């Protein structure tokens, strides 16, 4: 059978998408042993995991980009889940990092605006997961700042306020939330979860992957595996199995 004929007979295969939207902690998630790579590996026969992490960005900029990533014509049937993972930059101290800083109230409003936009294009609340920023290990991040000629421009207590705001937005909007700031500090020294005090270490990536998978697994378990297992293909008549 010619390829063109096979294509005409078979339905176009479309993998649903899991969209990861966030800052550098999302952008780096496809690195070796990253949390995004973990999800992609487990969902390879069910979904495309799409990394839309943009290093250095905050919610003020992100809310302008989101409508360019997901539109009404493509969203409802193709988006299996969306993670929104901002706050590490928004929570930067205004006097030391005014470019990335976003006031707490505006941060919450921006998150709410993004959730409302997704709902408006038929991405339902049960498919949206907000993720709080992780805790900040100040001494390690200060070393990273000093190496660039900067002062310590974040603090963990402030990051915690943004994490609480993220949790509150999720509660008000009816979405799931992963409170990474609280979970990483629960009865343990969280420094090993971070590579430089701000970004995730291999252990931090594994922690986030496990926490996120526990939430995504239920949402995506009903999705079928695309294309049959190879042992189930009729080798005498593969067209019957594959088209």
Provide the annotated active-site residues: 24, 196, 199
Position of tokens 């200060």?
Answer: 142
Q: Do 102 and 90 contact (CB within 8 A), yes or no?
A: yes
Residues with Cβ within 8 Å of 162's Cβ and at least 6 positions away in sequence, in order, are 87, 90, 91, 104, 107, 132, 133
Residues with Cβ within 8 Å of 108's Cβ and at least 6 positions away in sequence, in order, are 165, 166, 168, 169
Task: Report the SS3 class of residue 179.
Answer: coil
Of the candidates 144, 37, 27, the one whose C-alpha atom is nearest the C-alpha of residue 86 is 27
Q: Which two tokens stand for residue 135?
A: 């805790």
């Amino acid at each position: 059978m010619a390829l063109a004929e096979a294509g005409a007979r078979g339905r176009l295969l479309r993998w649903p998408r899991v969209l990861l939207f966030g800052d550098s902690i999302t952008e780096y998630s496809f690195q070796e042993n990253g949390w995004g790579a973990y999800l992609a590996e487990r969902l390879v026969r069910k979904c495309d995991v799409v990394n839309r992490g943009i290093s250095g960005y905050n919610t003020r900029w992100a809310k302008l980009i989101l409508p360019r990533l997901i539109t009404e014509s493509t969203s409802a049937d193709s988006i299996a889940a969306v993670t929104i993972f901002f706050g590490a930059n928004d929570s930067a101290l205004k006097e030391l990092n005014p470019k990335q800083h976003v006031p707490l109230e505006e941060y919450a409003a921006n998150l709410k605006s993004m959730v409302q936009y997704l709902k408006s294009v038929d991405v339902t609340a049960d498919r949206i997961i907000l993720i709080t920023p992780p805790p900040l290990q100040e001494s390690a991040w200060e070393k990273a700042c000093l190496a660039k000629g900067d002062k310590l421009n974040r603090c963990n207590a402030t990051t915690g306020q943004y994490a609480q705001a993220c949790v509150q937005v999720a509660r008000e909007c009816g979405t799931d939330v992963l409170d990474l700031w609280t979970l990483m500090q629960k009865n343990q020294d969280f420094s090993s979860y971070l590579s430089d005090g701000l970004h995730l270490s291999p252990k931090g990536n594994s922690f986030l992957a496990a926490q996120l998978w526990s939430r995504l697994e239920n949402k995506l378990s009903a999705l079928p595996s695309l294309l049959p297992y190879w042992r189930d293909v009729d080798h005498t008549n593969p067209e019957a199995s594959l088209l």
